[in-house]
Amino acid sequence: MNRADIKQRLQQLAQDKGFIAVGCATARRLDEQDNTLRSWLEKGYQGSMGYMERNLDKRLDPRLLVPGAKTVIVFLYNYFPAEQQLPDVPKIARYAWGEDYHRVVKDHIYDIVKELETHTGKINGRVFVDSAPVMERQWAALAGLGWLGKNSLLLRKGVGSYFFIGTIVCDLELEPDQPTTHHCGECTACIDACPTQAIVADGVVDAGRCISYITIESKAPMPDEIRSNNEGWAFGCDICQEVCPWNKFSQPHAETRFEPQQAFHTWDMNEWEQMDENMFNAVFGKTPLTRAGWQKLKNSLGTD
């Protein structure tokens, strides 16, 4: 198969596996991101996420992760749920309702790689889903899958932002797609809605003020200032997505492994507060909530 045929087959496989879209970008060093990333780090906006400072060269150049890489293939996978959480219970970010996305999305991408290899022979590459120093949103933008919004998330016209990003960094030489234009315009809905003022500039988020970071990544107790303004979020936060006009186009996902645990539909506040570690592991053991863990969730609930 020639390059055009391989790419066409890639696109068909991605569609068959339920991906929203797939795009390609030439593997290279992201020189245009160098100063932006270093400035963000120098200002301490990474909070306690020390891993953001490590492997900086690899973060900027995927060819250091996969020697001989020629293409970064980027996939978008929908996670927007059809259901809503019950009112007056701890709010959990939508991406965490079902099975851990790292496993789900990787499984689908590995299936695509196996099928592609029947046409191309062995592919030298690695699959990443939010699990390595890869600037996934930037690569998705370069691959023409959307643009970086003012909340720093990738936005796709007619779709929104409720999707996961997965990548293959590999030695396949495929025709790159062209970046799209930005479509945020003068809208500042995400900036205006953030209750902790974490979006400090267009596309710049101070993790130390971000509810998502504080309820998941931070090892410190939730600051009183944040607790009084977090609007009930106990794990993650969807506020900047909920107010984004582009997310009015969000459609429910069709991934059975993302179906939410029954607790999201049935538990009242008392059941959340009475949950012990064994119950947490039994109910949420396969979900992203394990990233924070039972004790962190209890702290976010204010029942520590």
- pLDDT recorded at residue 49: 87
**Phi then psi for 297, rounded to 5 degrees?**
-65, -40
- Give the CA distances from residue 73 to residues 46, 125, 238, 242, in Å, rounded to whole numbers and listed in that order: 27, 10, 27, 28
Question: 251 forms bridges with which residues in the sheet?
Answer: none
DSSP assignments along 179-231, one per residue: P-----TT--HHHHH-TT--EEETTEE-GGG-HHHHHHT--SPPPHHHHTTST
Instruction: Determine the average pLDDT of the residues in 249-258.
Output: 97
- Give the CA distances from residue 252 to residues 100, 153, 218, in Å, rounded to whole numbers and listed in that order: 18, 19, 30
Q: pLDDT digits over 168-205, tens only? A: 999 999 999 999 999 999 999 999 999 999 999 999 99
Split at pLDDT 50, 70, 90, the class of 304 is low
- pLDDT recorded at residue 155: 98
Residue type, 10: L
- pLDDT recorded at residue 303: 60
pTM above 0.75, yes or no: yes
- pLDDT recorded at residue 48: 84
Spatial contact of 194 and 239, defined as CB atoms under 8 Å apart: yes
Q: pLDDT digits over 216-234, tens only? A: 999 888 888 888 888 999 9
Catalytic residues: 130
Q: What is the Cα–Cα distance from 214 to 46, expressed in whole angstroms?
A: 11
Split at pLDDT 50, 70, 90, the class of 87 is confident
Domains recognised in the chain with CATH numbers: 3-85+94-170 (3.40.109), 189-245+261-301 (no CATH)
pLDDT at 51 over 90: no
277-299: b (≥16 Cβ within 10 Å) or e: eeebeebbeebbbeebebebbbb
Q: What is the Cα–Cα distance from 214 to 197, expressed in whole angstroms?
A: 13
Higher pLDDT, 58 or 51: 58
- pLDDT recorded at residue 274: 92
Q: pLDDT digits over 103-112, tens only? A: 999 999 999 9
